Amino acid sequence: MKSQLLIIPSIDIKNGKTVRGVQGIPELNCKDYGNDPVEMAMIWRTENAKFLHIVDFDHAQEHSKINFEIIREICDSVIIPVEFGGGISSFKDASDAINLGITRLVIGSLAYTDPDEFKKILKTFGASKISAAIDVIDNKVTIKARKKFIEPSPLKYAKQLEEMGVQRVIITDVKKNGMLQGANIELSKHIAHNTNLKVTHSGGITNYKELIEISKCISGRIDSVIIGRALYENKFPCQKLWRVAEAGLFD
């Protein structure tokens, strides 16, 4: 059976507006991105997206909930699952986000800094509701909004997360993120081949060739791709992109 690759558009939000994330840093006043995150979510749904990835930069950087009502409106406005990432640093944060209507949470630093709290979230909401983020710079895992590096290699850290009960990781090469200069597919493949984790690749996807390469990886273990800038800047004919992916033609 041909594998299917889930294409996940990313909507990055800061100060209530859609922004462009480049190497994990929000860039404001991007005229091609539109200002209204809710409208953007509805556009991606119209383009046949089956899942959305939301990054809340205000919550990530300042623990501000200024965007929460917008995120709730997104969840209420589309009939597809919405994934949320940005500053989940406690069980309460996780609960508050889930209560917005979020389908899946992305948790990064907390899994390393407070594994007991992270395990509590996993146990309460279930592993299917959690994606653990592994952000990488120069093959080193970074946490705390890229302000700190930790000792385990990306693969070793992925295995530690798996032992904690994680079922899915989002792998991001931060230097590739938003640069439109190609993706570090080998990093995602390395983790997929050496763990039993489901892998979502994030960062740097620019063209069909990269999607085809990912789709061939280890029987669908890398089963999804988060794409931001390349979609917004029309690097793909969007309707065709999802139609081909859903038909399982990436092989």
Alpha helices in 3-151 (DSSP H): 37-46, 57-62, 68-77, 91-98, 110-113, 115-125
CA distance 198 to 205: 18
Active site annotation includes 135: yes
How close are the terminal C-alpha atoms of the chain, in Å?
11
Instruction: Write out 169-182 in H/E/C secondary structure.
Output: EEEEEHHHCCCCCC
Tell me which DSSP letter residue 5 carries: -
How many Cα atoms sit within 13 Å of 43 on the Cβ side? Answer: 15
**DSSP bridge pairs for 173:** 136
Residues 6+ apart with CB under 8 A from 64: 58
Q: Helix (H, G, I), strand (E, B), or coil: what is residue 65? A: coil
- Catalytic pick among 12, 56, 58, 93: 12
Q: Helix (H, G, I), strand (E, B), or coil: what is residue 125? A: helix
Q: Helix (H, G, I), strand (E, B), or coil: what is residue 248? A: coil
Other Cβ atoms within 10 Å of 243 Cβ, number = 12
Angle at which helices 37-46 and 68-77 pack, to 10 degrees? Answer: 20
Active site annotation includes 32: no
- Catalytic pick among 56, 93, 135, 223: 135
Q: Give the catalytic positions in this structure.
A: 12, 135
